[in-house]
Every structure is written in C-alpha cells, then in structure tokens.
Structure 1
Amino acid sequence: MPDAITCQAAGSSFLIAQISDLHLKAHGKLSYGVVDTLAALRRAVEQLNASQPRPDIVVVSGDLVDFGQPEEYAVLRPELERLHMPYYLVPGNHDERAHLLAAFADHDYLPSSPQAPLDWVVETHPLRLIGLDSTAPGRHGGQLEDGQLRWLDAQLAARPHTPTVLILHHPPFVSGIGHMDREPFLNAAALQAVIAGHAQVERLLCGHLHRPMQRRFAGSLCCVCPGVSHQIVLDLRSDAPAHFNLEPPGYLLHHWQAEHGLVTHTAVLGQYPGPYPFYDGNGLID
C-alpha cells in the first residue's frame, strides 16, 4: 500500500530550486581577489524570488562559505533569509559543522550536534528530502561513513513508495576534470550499492564541481549544479590545471509532477535580451 506522503504526491506539482557553492566571504572580500560572491548570491536570491512560477523550496548543496568562519555565516544568514520560500542546507568541504549549526540553530531539520555528520530528513513536501553530509575533515574530496550508509539504507527502506531526492555536496563519480578528480569520492561503490536497492530515489543533487553535469548512478540520476558565482574551467585533460572562469552562473530547477516524474532544468542567472516572440500577428517571423 502507498503511504500517506505518496498519496499527497499523486496530485502535486512541486518545484525545487537548487543553488550551490556560494563561497561567501566576510568583510566584503573578493574570492581569489576576483569574484564578488556576495553580489552573486544577492542576484540569485532576487531572481529566485521573482521567478514565475516561484520555486516551492530552495536547496543549497554545500560550500555555503569560503573558510567556515563564524563571521562568514553571519554574512550568509541574512542573505538567505531574503528568500521568499523555505531553504535547506547541506555542508561542503569549505564549511565547518559547528559554525554552520550555530548560525542556523533554528533550522530544526539539522542535527543538534556537530560531533557527527549533518544528515537529515524532511518529510513535509511531495518529494521526500534526505540531506547527506559528504564532508570529511581535512579532505577536499567526499565520502560517506559506514554508519551514514546504514542510516541512509534504513531511511530509504522505511518509505519505499515515496519519491525521494538526496542532497549532498560531492558528486560520487569521476568528472574527467583533472584537478577536481585528484581527491575522488572515497566510497562511491558502497553508496551505489545502497541506492541501487531503492527504486524511489529520483535524483542525487550535488555541487562541488561548479559546472552542470549529469551521470546515471545506481539506477537514478546524479545532477551537479553550476556555481552561483564562478565556474570551473571545462578542461577534460587528465593534467588540467586548477582554473576557474566567469562564465554565466546558474542553478537547477527540479520540477516534480506525479504523472510525469521529475524533470531537471539548467537555468542561467542574470538578465539577457529577450524574450522575443517566434510569431507576429501574421505568422512566423523570418
């Protein structure tokens, strides 16, 4: 028998906006002396608030700030509070658990202690959300501990008929961008084995790579979000240097309709010429 949340989802349309890799700094500093990450986040919040239709929720897939310092989270919090919809956070390798929890102590979906990974579940939307803390202190790359994998397996087993989205910072695959792959996801095969046993996992939503990417993963789809400000250079050489650029920033929109499933769109942040009609009053415009 489908559970109550499945019945709720059957008649629902639900829109998730995903932003990632904010890398917010304190005291007005530019990231790498070039990128105004605060201005970039403000533009993103304004665009999400003005969207038609407006997203129902926002998920932020890690690297919320640049150095995990309290003063950075103090800058971040009021900017995210400007969103006109609920938002949910997972940490990235640039974050620090204790300082993140202190800044967002009223986010009751988050665990109360920084001594363990910040994993969480939210059951109140048409799609079930599971946040996973893929950070490992001292490492740039990601991993999930054995205990986290057991916890995830139990959570998924508890609601096998409820469409579910997993949110974690690190994509559990090799991207082909050399410098980003030097510290790969340590136990991707173990995560793959868990997810393969649970067909209700609709997406894995990730960040970290600062580019839109997709890969099949354990019978599901792993979607990587572009950065809110700067992007990693698309260089697929194995010895690719660690470079970024200022390509147009972006975000992902995940649109759930029970009768059609989950469709993911890549959107661009910023204002551009248009929209222009394809047709005038007399038909197709040449």
Structure 2
Amino acid sequence: MLIAQLSDPHVHPEGVLYQGVVDSNAQFATAIAQVNALDPRPDLVLLTGDLVDHGQEDEYTTLLRLLEALHIPVLAIPGNHDEREAFRRAFAGQPWLPAGGPIDYVVGDRGALRVVALDVTLPGHHHGVMSEAAAVWLDDVLSAEPERPTIVMMHQPPFATGIPYMDPYDCREGHRLAAVIERHPQVERILCGHVHRLMQMRFGGTLLCTAPSTTTTIALQLRPDARPASYIEPPGMLLHHWQEGRGLVSHFVPIGTFPGPFPFA
C-alpha cells in the first residue's frame, strides 16, 4: 500500500498570495500533479491540516476546485488555520466525515493499513490539545483491531521542536497520546503537519513524522531568542510505503522539476 502525505497548502481565494509573496494555490496544484504522476500511483492521499489559510468559504471553494484534479481518494483533517464547520461543509458527503464535534474518524477499507484521523485542534487557537476524551476515543478505536497495522494522523505535533516561535503552538498534553500509543504496538506511524518541515522522533514506542508544507518552509532556528522566519525552498511531501513482512518505509519527496534522471545510482 502506498500513501502520499501532503500538508499545509494554505490555499487562498483565487489571485491572493500566501503572506503576500507565495502562490500557494499554484504550488498545491503542482503537488497534486506530481502525486498523480507517481508510478505506481498511491492508493490514498492524506491531507494533514491547514488546507486553507483563514478558514473562509471562498478558500474552501478554491481548495475543492484544486482537489478535482487529484485522481486518488483523499482523507483530510483540519489544522489551526482551518475553520471546523466550514471544513465540514466543504467535505460534506465524504463517507469518512463525522456529523459533529471534532473531525475524528477511522478508515479501514482502503488497503492493508488502517488510518485513524485525530483532530486535536482547538477552534480559535493555534495550539492543539490531546484531551482526556480524545485519549479514551483513540484507545477504544485502537483496541478494536489490535493486530491491524495503523497510521494515526493529526495536525499539531505533540512535542517541542526546539524552534522557539513554533513550540507554543504544539499539541499540548502529549503525554496522554504517548500513553495510549504505548499500549498499541500496531501503530506504525504518527503523521503530523503544522511545522512546515520534515522532522521525526520516537514517540510512544513508535515513529512520529512531520511533513513539509507544499507552500513554504519554516526556518530551522534553534536559538531561544530566534525571530520567526520562513524560506521559499523546494516544497515537499512524504510517501509512506507498506509491504507485508517489511513494514512501513517513509520517504521524503521534493516537489518540482529537477535535472535528471541520469544513468547512474
């Protein structure tokens, strides 16, 4: 099973640039085209939040128009820049979409891997939280199929990255999530977005990965007095490849056109 993870496209209304400098819509369209062109083509695409920038209806209209070009089934969760009810209206009719409350759901009919979507966002805030209720829900869901290889996807990562202007906006109470994951070794990956960078760490006995943004890269600055900064670097995505007997391998894939291929390896 092959799963592409795209994150943080920050789609805007037509003709509006992200932060006044980046055509996030065009970059997301390029990402979609590259996913469609992969051979073999992925079985599933995961969108791990911040699908739009201000949670506005016209942004979601643009998002849906862009997603029409994607020839692969999509699962999505909101990020802190999304608006939960506008998100729900945009994806109305999708079989995975819950009727109310957090956008938590489970999809197990798309292939060998089971996908658990965990909405840790807090409406009106940029940080997230792993609540006690969410921990109980997740524990119940994972307990239902203890032998099934599983991915948990969420937006804000539940750890301190060391980037001082990002860490106040992490997923708080991450110890609750770690305690649940430790009880369920079938969880192959926790997949996040939010930080606009590839990061990975061991968490709750499994591997946690954050995906780069399709739009901009947040600067890697580890000094405690560093000021917020971003770069227009080549965007990227993650590609997660599951094979029976081998497990899950996660690849970083830059998005764009580059010199090559050359006849050597």
What is the CA deviation profile of residues 231-279 of structure 1, one whole-angstrom value per residue up to 9, with x for unaligned ones? 1011111122111111110000000001100000000000000010128
Amino acid at match of 1:88: L
Partner of 2:61: 74
Partner of 2:241: 255
Partner of 1:22: 9
Cα distance in structure 2, aligned partners of 1:238 and 1:58:
36
What is the CA deviation profile of residues 103-147 of structure 1, one whole-angstrom value per residue up to 9, with x for unaligned ones? 11011101112xx11100001021000001010122211112211
- % identity of equivalent residues: 48
Q: Do structure 1's residue 120 and structure 2's residue 105 form an aligned pair?
A: yes
Amino acid at match of 1:60: L
Cα distance in structure 2, aligned partners of 1:270 and 1:70:
29
Cα distance in structure 1, aligned partners of 2:190 and 2:232:
26
For residue 89 of structure 1, give the secondary structure of its aligned residue in structure 2.
strand
Q: Do structure 1's residue 141 and structure 2's residue 127 form an aligned pair?
A: yes
| Number of aligned residue pairs | 264
Cα distance in structure 2, aligned partners of 1:184 and 1:87:
25
Kept in 1: contact 2:156–2:169 (CA 8 A): no
Partner of 2:94: 107
- Equivalent residue for 2:46, pick from 59, 66, 83: 59
Cα shift at 1:15: 0.3
Off by >3 Å, runs of 4+ in structure 1: none
Amino acid at match of 2:169: E
- Equivalent residue for 2:203, pick from 191, 208, 217: 217
Q: Do structure 1's residue 202 and structure 2's residue 202 form an aligned pair?
A: no
Cα shift at 1:182: 2.1
Partner of 1:92: 79
Kept in 1: contact 2:156–2:192 (CA 8 A): yes
Cα distance in structure 2, aligned partners of 1:107 and 1:145:
26
Cα distance in structure 2, aligned partners of 1:96 and 1:181:
21
> In angstroms, what is the RMSD of aligned CA positions?
1.0
What is the CA deviation profile of residues 196-245 of structure 1, one whole-angstrom value per residue up to 9, with x for unaligned ones? 00000000010000000001001100000000011101111112211111
Cα distance in structure 2, aligned partners of 1:249 and 1:131:
24
For residue 12 of structure 2, give the secondary structure of its aligned residue in structure 1.
coil
What is the TM-score when the length of structure 2 is the normalising length?
Answer: 0.98
Which residues of 2 match residues 31-70 of structure 1 at below 5 A? 31-70=18-57
Amino acid at match of 2:87: L
Cα distance in structure 1, aligned partners of 2:124 and 2:215:
24
Partner of 1:244: 230
For residue 133 of structure 2, give the secondary structure of its aligned residue in structure 1.
helix
Cα distance in structure 1, aligned partners of 2:169 and 2:74:
29
Q: Which has the larger radius of gyration?
A: 1
What is the TM-score when the length of structure 1 is the normalising length?
Answer: 0.91
For residue 270 of structure 1, give the secondary structure of its aligned residue in structure 2.
coil
